[in-house]
Amino acid sequence: MFIDKQQFQFLFLVLCLVQLASCSDTIFSGARVGASLEIATDQEKYFPQDTVKVTFANDTSKDLFLLSSGCSAFDGPLPNMVIEKQRGRVWENTTDYSCTAVYQPPINIEAGTSYSVRFRVGVTNIPQEEGTYRYLFDLRLVNENEEPGEKLPARYRYSNEFKVSK
C-alpha cells in the first residue's frame, strides 16, 4: 500500500495528537473534569502599605498542604513563598522578608475547600519598587501518612500577577 504526502501528513498529525493527549499531568489524575487549583489575590493593584488577601481554591480531588514560613500573618501563619518581580520578560526572585520564625504546622487545604490569608504587601518586601509581581507558594500533596509529600509543579503554585504602585 502506498500513501501520498497528504495522507502521511494527516497520519503524522493524528499520531502527534494521540501522543500529546497521553502526556496528561499525573499530579491531579483522578480529579473530576473541570477540577482546578486557583491562587488569587483580592486585587490586581496595591500600594506598599496595603493588605493583600490571597485565596487558595482547591477544586480538585486531592488534599493539599500549604507550608508555613514560620512567620505570622493577620489571620494565621504566613505561607512559605517566593516573591517574584517581572523585569522585562524575566521573573526575578525578590524575596527578602524576615521575622522571628516559629514552627507552625502546614495548612491543610482539603479537596473541594478554600483557604484565605491576609498580610501586608510591604511586609513581604515589595515596598520600594513599582512593578508587576506574583507569589510562588510551597504547596504539596498530602501523602499517605497525612504529611507534606510531593511538591506540586510550579505552574500550580503561582498566584495571579498584580501591580504595586507608590
CATH code of the domain covering residue 46: 2.60.40.2550
Kindly report, residue by residue over 109-145, the tens digit of the pLDDT: 999 999 999 988 765 555 468 899 999 999 999 998 8
Number of domains present in the structure of the chain: 1
Q: Smallest Cα–Cα separation from 106: which of 83, 77, 81, 82?
A: 77
Cα separation, 115 vs 66, whole angstroms? 10
2 vs 144 pLDDT, higher one: 144
Check residue 120 and give its pLDDT: 81
Read off the C-alpha cell for 156: 500550580
With respect to residue 80, please indicate whether it lies within any of the assigned structural domains.
yes
Q: What residue type is assigned to position 162 of the chain?
A: F
Cα separation, 58 vs 139, whole angstroms? 11
Read off the C-alpha cell for 52: 493583600
Q: Smallest Cα–Cα separation from 121: which of 166, 58, 67, 70?
A: 166
Check residue 121 and give its pLDDT: 74
Domain span holding position 62 = 32-164
Q: Which secondary structure element, helix H or strand E, spans residue 68, and what is its range?
A: strand 68-73
With respect to residue 112, please indicate whether it lies within any of the assigned structural domains.
yes
